[in-house]
Amino acid sequence: MFGYILRRILSTIPVMVFVALFVFSLLYIAPGDPAAVIAGDQASPEDVEKIRKSLGLDRPFLVRFTEWSGQILSGDLGTSMFTGLPVTELIGQRIEPTVSLMIVTLILAVLIAVPIGVIAAWKAGTWIDRLIMGFAVFGFSVPVFVVGYLLAYIFALELDWLPVQGYTPIAKGLWPWFENLILPSIALGLVYIALIARITRATMLEVLSQDYIRTARAKGLGQRPILFLHALKNAAVPIVTVIGIGVALLIGGAVVTESVFAIPGLGRLTIDAIVRRDYPLIQGIVLVFSFVYVLVNLVVDVIYTMLDPRIRY
Amino acid sequence: MTDTPSTSIRPPASGAPRAAYAAAPDLPDILPPARVRRGFAGFAFRHPSMAIGLVILAAMMFIAVFAPLLGTVDPTALAPIKRMRSPGAEFWFGSDAYGRDIYSRVLYGARISLIVGFAVALIASFTGLVIGLVSGYVRVLDGFIMRIMDGMMSIPPILLAVALMALTRASVENVIMAIALAEVPRVSRLVRGVVLTLREQPYVEAAIAAGTSTPMVIMRHILPNTIAPLTVQATYICGSAMIIESILSFIGAGTPPIIPSWGNIMADGRTLWQVKPFIILFPAIFLSLTVLAINLLGDGLRDALDPRMAKRI
């Protein structure tokens, strides 16, 4: 068990190295000269050259990459070109709203998606199944910001049930924090719910046709214990896999959702960084998000072995 | 449908003479031959959701091609005096903050979204096909290529596209390339998986034993079998590319603001959504309908082309 976890952790190293290399070279080949941008329109060529030297932008690729990797490993993501603050500090300031949003969305989505997927499989072919699957296709087809505006318009502007926009730190109380996150997490979670519900239904359909389900039914077990104890347990691996993979959707969607609901998180920071072409900041954000994504999928792989003791690598 | 001999005597559906069955009451009812519907009506009867998808998609393509003839005006024409008009006789879908006609912009926007969707699907499938074939067939390169794909896949697609767009000038071509590049790893993995299973098939082994050259094996025996799953995947990519385009434009990292794409129209309405929600509403309906149509088509194709996959997802 520990040997497996250790090997799995080691196997993420080449992936992370590639991500680092990719992110670094992306911005290395970027057109547009950050030194010229910082110097401004009035600067003379000598000034630009001086700034370039001070930023270390004139040295060869591999030298800069090795140095940069070393810095990252020691926890230093560099300095933002625009604000002059360390990237880690900027990310640290903005991380709470994003993490809150993603965790609430994740929990909400799983709590909604798995039961409706199970029900759809149970009632396969009926109108309930069609309704749920229709909803899933709809969830795939509507962009996250459209859902966001729609929800905000109906539940905040027209009905006035929930706050329109903004974010309250969790330190100021659990309800104010949660209240602000309800609409954003439903908007962000819709695609995710659709994805998980579809996989849940498909896997459950397969499991429900197995012999041991017939046996459970034959010995007189009720519908609910069969569905939720026998079947769902055996359908867990693909569902957990998709929950892990789907985190990529959450990360991408968070950038947009935060902008719709004016949540001061990493997503807003990303947009600002892109507009200002703040390369170290963009590098830092992409790296942090990718690291989180790789980590989530690492945890998912470890969960496999707990869900299904037959899985050994 | 029951085939068991029935003791009850029911008159046949078609008006057969009474004596014909009264003489032999023990025979099972003979059903009239099933009427086979041909043409589009028959297709729509058998695959209703696919037919709905086709009709909507055809309508959108019609709109895209004949946009100038459908009562539109110049979608970029400014009319500051008539800005922010609500939908009415003059502006069917209202006008935006610069007095541009939203109806015309939405209709012309169909061109951009469809071009982006189809181009991304084509480029990503073709590139992914080539990489997947090489990776699945040239075993020496497999590990290396798949580590690169793993690395690219651990950067969430929207974030990858956003980072790529930050490097380049805003243009439709660059948006297409950025989204396609983000989709390539998934296609390569799919094709590689199919190739790996096909390689072990007896008929491929037989072909190799008979002295077929490697390019011939790939062209004649491997490639045709990857087309079905690839087509299904390409359909989904087409839909998701349209959504990603709108998201990129919405956060200001997509097509240049002057081009009337659905994402750009919605981005223009972003600051006004609380007072003039229709600016976002109309392009949102068109975009969602189109993506919905493509997804319905994809689900239908998947069920038709690969019954085994249909059971799984």
B151 vs A15, A30, A140: nearest CB: A15
Q: Is A289 on the interface with B (CB under 8 A)?
A: yes
Q: How far is A138 from chain B (nearest CA, A)?
A: 6
For residue A93, give both structure tokens.
């300031």
Give the burial class of B18: count Cβ atoms within 10 A of its Cβ; 0-12 exposed, 13-18 middle, 19 or more buried. exposed
Question: Any residues with CB less than 8 A from the CB of A108 and at least 6 apart, and which?
Answer: A185, A186, A189
CB-CB neighbors (< 8 A) of B291 in chain A: 140-142
Question: Any residues with CB less than 8 A from the CB of A278 and at least 6 apart, and which?
Answer: A80, A81, A82, A83, A272
Three-class SS of residue B101?
A: strand
Nearest-angstrom CA–CA distance, B163 and B142: 27
Q: Is A156 on the interface with B (CB under 8 A)?
A: no
Residues 139-158 of chain B with CB under 8 A from chain A are: 147-148, 150-152, 154-158
Question: Any residues with CB less than 8 A from the CB of B155 and at least 6 apart, and which?
Answer: A19, A22, A23, A286, A289, A290, A293, B163
CB-CB neighbors (< 8 A) of A16 in chain B: 154
Q: What number of other Cβ atoms are within 10 A of residue B30's Cβ?
A: 12
Tens digit of each residue's pLDDT (9 = 90 or more) over B48-86? 788 888 888 888 888 888 777 766 667 776 666 666 666
- Return the higher-pLDDT residue of B310 and B275: B275
CA distances from A45 to A41, A42, A127 (A): 10, 10, 70
Three-class SS of residue A190?
A: helix
Contact A137 B296 (CB under 8 A): yes
Contact A14 B147 (CB under 8 A): yes
Nearest-angstrom CA–CA distance, B172 and B182: 16
Nearest-angstrom CA–CA distance, A211 and A214: 5
| pLDDT (tens place) for every residue of chain A, 313 residues total | 677 778 878 888 888 888 888 888 776 776 666 666 666 667 777 777 777 777 777 777 778 788 878 878 887 777 777 777 888 888 888 888 888 889 999 999 999 999 998 888 888 778 888 888 888 888 888 888 888 888 888 887 778 777 777 777 777 777 877 778 888 998 898 988 998 998 888 888 888 888 888 888 888 887 777 887 778 887 888 888 888 888 888 888 888 888 888 888 888 888 888 777 777 788 888 888 888 888 888 888 888 777 777 665 5
Residues 279-298 of chain B with CB under 8 A from chain A are: 280, 284, 287-289, 291-292, 295-296
| CA contacts within 13 A on the Cβ side of A16 | 19
3-state helix, strand, coil in chain A (%, to 5): 80, 0, 20
Answer for the pair A158, A85: CB distance below 8 angstroms, yes or no.
no
**Taking the mean position of all CA atoms in its chain, how far away is CA A204?**
25
- Of the candidates A233, A239, A208, A205, the residue with the CA atom closest to the CA atom of residue A223: A208
CA distances from B301 to B192, B193, B227, B292, B294 (A): 21, 20, 12, 14, 10
Nearest-angstrom CA–CA distance, B49 and B140: 44
Question: What is the ipTM metric for this complex?
Answer: 0.81
| Confidence (pLDDT) at B124 | 94
DSSP state of B201: S
Q: Is B248 on the interface with A (CB under 8 A)?
A: no
B295 vs A18, A140, A286: nearest CB: A140
Nearest-angstrom CA–CA distance, B239 and A11: 33
CB-CB neighbors (< 8 A) of A205 in chain B: 311
Per the confidence metrics, is the pTM higher than 0.90? no
| Confidence (pLDDT) at B2 | 42
- Of the candidates B136, B152, B77, the residue with the CA atom closest to the CA atom of residue A22: B152
A181-196 exposure pattern, b = at least 16 Cβ within 10 A, e = fewer:
bbbbbbbbbbbbbbbb
For residue A213, give both structure tokens.
């389900």
Answer for the pair B229, B194: CB distance below 8 angstroms, yes or no.
yes
- Counting other chains too, the contacts that A177-181 makes at CB distance below 8 Å and 24 or more residues apart are A177/A100, A178/A104, A180/A261, A180/A263, A181/A100, A181/A101, A181/A104
- Of the candidates B239, B136, B241, B113, the residue with the CA atom closest to the CA atom of residue B181: B241
Q: Is A141 on the interface with B (CB under 8 A)?
A: yes
Q: How far is B117 from chain A (nearest CA, A)?
A: 13
